[in-house]
Structure 1
């Protein structure tokens, strides 16, 4: 590790060259810098600074054919293979929705972006990488052998910014909001919760009562929530695999939420990590960073929406999982049985 708080681009590049087997995020952590600074150090060498707005980046991604979409929050990485399309722009929220690439995008957090190209024995590795104001990764799009590689030069030329400097200004990282409860409002929370007709009403209810998601869960009680043992995160993954049902698996940061809809087929634990290693969906979850797990039930016009939700020690949401309710493949009943069987948090364990 370097002594100086912020290494120069030249020092960053030298460190990368000396540690060719380290992943970018691990290098950034060892250097105590934001990942965007690491990528920016390669501008003019293996990176091009590009316009960060999702309207341009998603339009480019749609031209690349089959790619891998990656969204990360903390020690949970969500990867989907598919094609971008069906983009719906919006000033505050945007969406791209195909059978495999399903994203909710919040443009104000798409602040810095780069096109990255590195050489390997198998040929060039190319990706579009987006970062927030603090320099943390928001979303990445990795090209594959099956991608339209011939489109890359033209698309990057169209997105390139005039500023191609190797420095990158970043702001201080905003911490996760800890659980925020108002126990004196518990009766109001429970009454309004029971009257919901759509899951999207929940966060508005929390805001009205000056609570947040985790804070509301901590005071709501049965029948709305049930505190689960943190091991339930892994138990749930194994049960979904064994049952062969379809789920919706949400992982998101401030700038992007990525959703997998379908089954989980192959689990490969490795040390503290549990890994879904399916052909077109990969998930990497560090189980020892899961501090709280909740089974949650919210009423909707189509019946109760049951979810399993995991949080880290700082109160940040790691993932949400729901049963899929679609005509011809309704897994909600089977999903409900899985959730009901998950182990409760033992009294005093918290």
Structure 2
């Protein structure tokens, strides 16, 4: 039985509603941070509209094709990446640990981080939105799939009906681990790192190279030297962020780019040109049909142009990291494996380096 003191304490839901009254546009992830809980804990405090899914996430995504257009959303603390398109032959490999979508929906999925899934129905008063939302063991949202006006409703309902799990027990969430420790630069054999870096044959071998050298990604980027990496100025009162500048350059020249945003459970990718770019306070936004990007550049503390060798020639990226040393957003020139990097992208990056090199 609750004590009189416990009865007086506001519930999590009431605290959330009070917060929304003060900040009506506050997103659930940010509300959870302010309330000191995980996003899933906050979602589950609702009395209705949240139904558990079977933990068969790879099979669910493989069954998405007939549903037609959906809006998929992947985010981390500083960036939100949204694509509206149709799934096409999602595949699962690595004994179910890895998932892959290639096409208008382009994903790299790491299912070992996917623990909980829910059908979420939200009634805003004007419209009712349905989404499939997936979380890790700590309650962090990894990926969301929203039904749109163009979605095949019958196929959506059939898929939801197949994967709902009415017998699921309430989830037991574990505490999120402390941020990964950055590698002490003094512990890194820089000569070995430089040699290993110079021998890369494929950008997909990069993470294995970091592991061999026992170094985190940002520390490797900081140590490998100017042959491969250029540090850029971050945004100030007088200088736009590197992301603002490369997006505006790509818009002006119609240079096709690839934009990667991820978290521990997934990487989501856009490929194409950008057009409608708007700065709103700390956020730089791409608001195009089929692709939206929202990046809080105030939270991106370090920017680098990074070059890696490959059998297709040098591959160049623009990379932004947060204060924890986590990769936030990565941009490449649009290309297919087996093809060299477009000279158009190389010119845009060279112009960016000339303007913002530290």
Structure 1 residue 263: Cα displacement: 0.9
Q: Distance between the aligned counterparts of 2:328 and 2:178, measured in 1?
A: 14
**Unaligned residue ranges in structure 2 (runs of 5+):** 1-5, 235-240
The structure 1 segments of at least 4 consecutive aligned residues displaced by more than 6 Å after TM superposition are: none
Unpaired segments ≥5 residues, structure 1? 1-5
What does residue 3 of structure 1 align with?
none
CA distance in 1, matches of 2:269, 2:158: 29
Matches for 1:7-18 after TM superposition, within 5 Å: 11-18=11-18
CA contact (8 A) 1:294 1:309 kept: yes
2:173 aligned to 170, 173, 195, which one?
Answer: 170
Q: Is contact 1:75-1:289 (8 Å) kept?
A: yes
How far 1:149 moved relative to its partner? Answer: 2.1
SS state at 2:149 partner: coil
1:242, 1:183 → 2: CA distance?
44
Tell me the SS of whatever aligns to 2:201. coil
Contact 2:78 2:300 in 1 (8 A): no
Q: Output one character per residue of 1:49-85: Cα deviation in whole Å (capped at 9) or x when no partner.
A: 1123322331343332101010001120000000112
Are residues 1:316 and 2:319 paired? Answer: no
SS at match of 1:144: strand
- CA shift for structure 1 position 31: 2.0
Q: 1:81 aligns with which of 75, 84, 107?
A: 84
Equivalent residue number for residue 299 of structure 2: 289
Q: What RMSD, in angstroms, separates the aligned Cα atoms of the two structures?
A: 2.4
> 1:132 and 1:274 mapped to 2: Cα distance?
28
Whether 1:48 aligns to 2:51 is yes
Of 57, 61, 67, which aligns to 2:64?
Answer: 61
TM-score, L = length of structure 1: 0.89
Residue 239 of structure 1 pairs with residue 249 of structure 2: yes
Change (3 A) 1:146 1:54: same
Within-5 A mapping of 1:251-290: 251-290=261-300
Look up the SS of the partner of 2:138 in the other structure: coil
Give the alignment partner of residue 42 of structure 2, picking from 38, 41, 62: 38
Distance in 1 between residues matched to 2:232 and 2:162, nearest whole Å: 49
When normalised by structure 2's length, the TM-score is: 0.87
Contact preservation (8 Å) 1:62, 1:84:
yes
How many residues align structurally? 335
Kept in 2, the 8 Å contact 1:203–1:212? The answer is no
